[in-house]
Chains A and B, each alone.
Chain A
Amino acid sequence: MKHTTKKLLAFAMVLTMLMSLCSVFALADEGAAFKIGGTGPLTGGAAIYGNAAANGAQIAVDEINAEGGIQFDLRYEDDAHDAEKAVNAYNTLKDWGMQLSLGSVTSKPCEATSAETFADRIFALTPSASSTATTEGKDNQFQMCFMDPNQGSASAQYISDQGLGTKIAIIWKNDDVYSKGIRDTFVEKAEELGLEIVSETEFADGNDQDFSVQISDAQSNGADLVFLPMYYQPASLILAQAAGVGYAPKWFGVDGMDGILTMEGFDPALAEGVMLLTPFNADSEDEKTVAFVEKYQELYGEIPNQFAADAYDCVYAYKQALEAAGATPDMSAEELCDAMIEQFTTMTFDGLTGEGMTWDASGAVSKSPKGMVIQDGAYVGLD
């Protein structure tokens, strides 16, 4: 009996310890800062994007806070790339007192949280959620990245303009919003431009390990350029497996491909010569970019991708808009929302991911994409 009492006591103590930890972790709030919150996949398969965005935003916030003037308080919550968890994460941020939102990092979760920010009148500027549904019909939703349809048609335009290939194969993921959105507009634009699509194969969640069928289909149809509208994990397997069978076409990716070089266990040599369209070039000589890349490398030990740059730009865009509107941290989220809508539709913003960016009333950004190619394990501008 004594023994069991001891055990019970020990268990009770463990519980109390856990409870007290909970209260210790509760954050102390500071008054004079704008509270910015965002959700993103900090864990799980898409974690590279969420963490990159959170890190990029944090660097911007630290820089701005060090300058004095406008102060920010940043908080990122994990949504594991899932709409339900994203709404939960968003509600947690709302309880925290978020005034300005960075939306969600990935598309589908952002679609869910944008409905919430719209209903709650909290202004949201997402760094990277690119689907049209994110901003459609919502006046306080803005994007820092291209919309999916734009990426598809811009890729086709780029391939045609630069004469990169004539016979094109597409491998896409048919249960993914992002992949499908880009593929649809790519095919449409390719037809218009007279690019010949000789092979089109799909894969889905669960059968995304073996791509031999897709690769041999592209190869046997004589494709000289393979378009990969997908995230980097499946793309890395496709590159590895194509190298295995000695198939070496030109590879063309989209912004989801960004991050492939920093992926664990991936041999960067396989990605040699892969082209992708992304608004951010970490090798740029531009002063701001150089400073950002240096800082990011120092803090997180890797080259920042486009998500980090987009999130960094988001925070600076907020700074510029807040300064122009003369906003103060004691304003309510709703007042800020109205002020931000007015600012974002009228202002011009220069950031890492583009010069002279403007937003239209629908929330879409207008900036020009940069073609990049991977050379010696680094991204290099194509032009």
Chain B
Amino acid sequence: MNKNKTLNKTSRMNFITYGVVIAAYVVLQAMVSTGSISSTLKGMLVPICAYVVMAVSLNLTVGVLGELSLGHAGFMSVGAFTGVTAAIALQNVIPSGTLRLCIGMVVGAIFAAIAGVLIGIPVLRLKGDYLAIVTLAFGEIIKSIINNLYVGVDANGMQLSFLSDKTNLAEGGKLIIAGPMGIGGITKLSTFTIGFVLVMITLVIVFNLVNSRSGRAIKAIRDNRIAAESVGINVTKYRLMAFVISAALAGAAGTLFAENYSTVVANKFDFNTSILVLVFVVLGGLGNMLGSIIAATVLTVLPEALRQFSDYRMLIYAIVLILVMLITNNPTLKGYLNIIKQKLVRRKPAAQTVEGGADNGK
């Protein structure tokens, strides 16, 4: 009986999340087509989608798997550079921009997943602080590698070189990744619709994973690793599964993000970006996907909305962050919220016990 109730609650929450995302898309798309949206907001639609995917995928690692990762931007970077390279290399083969972007995102996701496996095998043997520090280092390593990587394409195929440009491209060849200069002259392919589709795919993957047998195993590992091991759960396998899926989604988000600008550099995906995404996750609530989505959206729009404060913009941004942290953790305010919640669900008194249980779980 009780189990049934919780299941219903999670799936209800999932459908609310889908509903919110779809509604937001429909409203914004309508605003775009009628031209009633400001250029500022219109320009931020794709980055918001990319950050939402980043936040949801990091939430899988931090909220569901329970490991603090400080290198999520590293996967985004891998995805951005491989995905964009693929899209540029296919420029003459596939005329459709949308298809090229989709292939780019798949390539980005695959490479990010490979990076996830490579980093995951050693890193997931660590716990807690150690894991956080190693992922942090990983993000920096990716940044350094890409800053020294030169990739070109010519009639003879792909040319790679390291440290300095030794690609020696044949006539008509094109240098795609130019070390510290990153990728320039990108044809913008990302659209809000593709961003929305990626967000939906991410949600479907994450929700289904979390509610599956594997998802329960992952959560069991988070809650008590020794107990999970003792009942025969393969800890390494499930931790790696969550980590790699998280990395792959970040890779796709990276491609989406990079294809929205005419240029991308490795320094963009530094430690600060990782922390930014982590802030989305923490503010939205660990394990709470809808929270991540809202936090990513609000915190991406907020610095732009505060432009009229000019010099004090980032100060106010920081104050807002602190206020949100304090308010969401304020017991009296939480009490108010609970009263409202209880009023709403008074029709079903049985739900109250479940409510309490779920809150403790956070």
Contact = CB atoms under 8 A, between A and B. Distances in A.
A95 interface: yes
B27 to A, nearest CB: 19
A91 B40 contact: yes
Contacts of A25: 308-309
Contacts of A181: 181
Interface string A44-88: 000000000000000000000000000000000110001111011
Interface in A1-44: 4, 7-8, 11, 21-22, 25-26, 42-43
Contact of A180 (B42, B179, B268, B332): B179
B261 A174 contact: no
B180 A4 contact: no
Contacts of A175: 143-144, 147, 179-180, 265-267
Interface string B151-192: 000000000000000000000000000011110110010000
Interface stretch (B64-72, B310-318, B353-361): B310-318
B307 interface: yes
Contact of A133 (B38, B140, B180, B185): B185
Given A25-B308, A42-B311, A112-B262, A174 B180 contact: yes
Given A8-B336, A87-B261, A91-B43, A180 B185 contact: no
Contacts of A133: 181, 184-185, 263
B39 A204 contact: no
A176 interface: yes
Nearest to B263: A111
A112 B332 contact: no
A84 B39 contact: no
Contacts of A173: 180
A179 B42 CA distance: 34
A82 B268 contact: yes
Contacts of B79: none
Interface string B38-63: 11101110010000000000000000
A88 B304 contact: yes
A177 B304 contact: no
B221 interface: no
Interface in B91-113: none
Interface string A77-121: 110001111011111101100000000000010011011100000
B256 interface: no
A205 B273 CA distance: 15
The 6 A-B pairs of least Cβ separation, nearest first, read A115-B262, A25-B308, A91-B43, A175-B180, A175-B147, A91-B39
Interface of B: 38-40, 42-44, 47, 140, 143-144, 147-148, 179-182, 184-185, 188, 261-268, 270, 303-305, 307-311, 313-314, 327, 332-333, 335-336
Given A111-B184, A137-B185, 7 more contacts: A4-B336, A8-B336, A78-B307, A78-B310, A91-B39, A111-B263, A116-B262
26 contacts: A4-B333, A7-B332, A25-B309, A42-B310, A83-B264, A84-B47, A88-B44, A88-B304, A91-B39, A91-B44, A92-B39, A94-B40, A95-B40, A111-B263, A114-B262, A115-B188, A116-B262, A173-B180, A175-B144, A175-B180, A175-B267, A176-B180, A177-B180, A177-B182, A181-B181, A205-B267
Interface of A: 4, 7-8, 11, 21-22, 25-26, 42-43, 77-78, 82-85, 87-92, 94-95, 108, 111-112, 114-116, 131, 133, 136-137, 173-177, 179-181, 204-206
